[in-house]
Chain A
Amino acid sequence: AQRVTQPEKLLSVFKGAPVELKCNYSYSGSPELFWYVQYSRQRLQLLLRHISRESIKGFTADLNKGETSFHLKKPFAQEEDSAMYYCALSGRDSSYKLIFGSGTRLLVRP
């Protein structure tokens, strides 16, 4: 079964602390992984995708096929990082329907 699991509903850290948002997936084919973010009163938007291998707003995510994980990391959290984060996957062998996790709310305290 195709599934994305985000085990934490809420992650609270202090400004300047490291952040790791966990994402595990289950997919039988060749997946493409994404992180989407929704800031307060804004629409859902793409943060990064694993094939780009980019760092966006200081965030990085590495696809670990052995552990079937795609954790989102940032070494020093900022208050403006507070948002809802969704991990999503899609199969590269078909039209892109995204399967989303249930999301993790990141709260960065001053």
Chain B
Amino acid sequence: DAGVTQSPTHLIKTRGQQVTLRCSPKSGHDTVSWYQQALGQGPQFIFQYYEEEERQRGNFPDRFSGHQFPNYSSELNVNALLLGDSALYLCASSPTRNTGELFFGEGSRLTVL
């Protein structure tokens, strides 16, 4: 089992563009959460997906949206990119919704110029 896999690992965009990040959860996990980690900060919760629905959301604008597919994989979309969106985006999966034991991917590093 490769664990949680994310793609792409690095990408560069310009202000105003849109980006899609992808995540495959660990085998047997049905819940996917996304976190944003700015340089020198801890991860910040964006949202959680379970049964193909957004179940909980952090304090992020509507420019951040997501999707979960029937195979439990997930996408994070960010529209109208701002310089401040530059960060490491982490995907984490868990076997159920109700656990704080998360399995993280290596992240997608987004740079907005």
Which residues of B sit under 8 angstroms from A90, Cβ to Cβ?
100
Which residues of A sit under 8 angstroms from B104, Cβ to Cβ?
43-45
A25 at the B interface (CB under 8 A): no
Which residues of A sit under 8 angstroms from B100, Cβ to Cβ?
32, 34, 49, 88, 90, 96, 98
**A102→B40 contact, CB < 8 A:** yes
List B residues 6-27 near A (Cβ within 8 Å): none
User: Closest residue of chain A to B38, judged by CB?
Assistant: A102
List B residues 31-86 near A (Cβ within 8 Å): 33, 35, 40-45, 48, 50, 55-56, 58
B interface, size bucket = 20 to 34
Q: Is the interface of B mostly helix, strand, loop or mixed?
A: loop
A interface, size bucket = 20 to 34
B106 to chain A, nearest CB (A): 5
**A95→B48 contact, CB < 8 A:** yes
Give bound CA distance, A44 to B43, whole Å. Answer: 10
A94 at the B interface (CB under 8 A): yes
**B101→A46 contact, CB < 8 A:** yes
Given A43-B106, A95-B55: A49 touches B42 (CB 8 Å cut-off): no
Select one of A32, A46, A86, A97 contacting B42, CB under 8 A: A86
Which residues of B sit under 8 angstroms from A95, Cβ to Cβ?
48, 50, 55-56, 97-98
| Interface set of B (CB-CB < 8 Å, partner A) | 3-4, 33, 35, 40-45, 48, 50, 55-56, 58, 90, 94, 97-107
| Interface set of A (CB-CB < 8 Å, partner B) | 4, 6, 32, 34, 43-46, 49, 86, 88, 90, 94-103
Which 8 pairs from chain A and chain B are nearest by CB?
A: A100-B42, A44-B104, A97-B45, A90-B100, A96-B100, A95-B56, A95-B97, A43-B104
